Amino acid sequence: MPDVATLAVHLGLAPGSAALRQALTHSSYAAEHGGESNERLEFLGDAVVDLAVADYIVGRFPLVNEGTASVLRSRVVNEDSLAAVARELALGDLLLLGRGVVKEKGNERSSVLADAFEAVVAAVYLDSGYDAAKAVVVRYLEEAIEVASRDDNLDPKTRLKRWAEGQGMGTPEYEVAASGPSHDVTFVATVSVGPLLVSASGPSKKRAEANAAAAAWEELPDA
């Protein structure tokens, strides 16, 4: 049977972490026994998890645009995936729940477990700072992010290339021009695919090409 002190050490916290104990206190238990529930920590943890995953995605996949990054994050930061992590950490066995919620097996509910994981991340954030909280999030969600990222839609150039080749149009061709002063260069990429000629800009050659591929995709009639 897991215990809170062991979980605390596993997360790099002091065995007696008050924040962690609060993170494991459901509102139903607080209502019956007094004290503060994990609701405020869940609110904070929700933001920390979102930031940590976004931070990881931006660093790991520098070519994805904002829309694609948002899709990737939403595939990972959701009730099912967070509840799965909570189960891996055995949070359900450690949650303090009110009698009615215990009777209803609330410790098995995905919504309760997902909230508990977010609250636990907030506890790490409060006790040890953002870097420690991000490390916990990445440790348990990195594999899910990598799996989700294998979708071709997350790489505009690969998606466009496969579509064009499948249509017998050959490989899209890119031309890139740079303009502006050396300290503030803007790159403009033009992609030629079939009858289309589409341009887009970006702060780097790779970003401009990716943006051009994404823009071309939007103009394809049957992609």
**Torsion sign across C-alpha atoms 78, 85, 72, 139:** positive
- Among candidate residues 36, 42, 66, 118, the one labeled active-site is 118
| Residue 56 · residue 145 · CB < 8 Å | yes
- Phi-psi map region of 170: left, alpha, beta (phi>0 left; psi -120 to 50 alpha): left
- Tokens matching residue 66: 């904002």
Question: Is 46 one of the annotated active-site residues of the chain?
Answer: yes
**Torsion sign across C-alpha atoms 10, 86, 91, 53:** positive
DSSP per-residue codes, 117-169: HHHHHHHHHHHH-HHHHHHHHHHHHHHHHHHHHTSGGG-HHHHHHHHHHHTT-
- The 8-class DSSP code of residue 223 comes to -
Helix, strand, coil percentages in the chain from 3-state DSSP, rounded to 5: 65, 10, 25
- Among candidate residues 3, 36, 42, 46, the one labeled active-site is 46
| Residue 46 · residue 121 · CB < 8 Å | no
Question: Is 118 one of the annotated active-site residues of the chain?
Answer: yes
Amino acid letter, residue 28: S
- Tokens matching residue 25: 């206190």
By annotation, the residues acting in catalysis are 46, 118
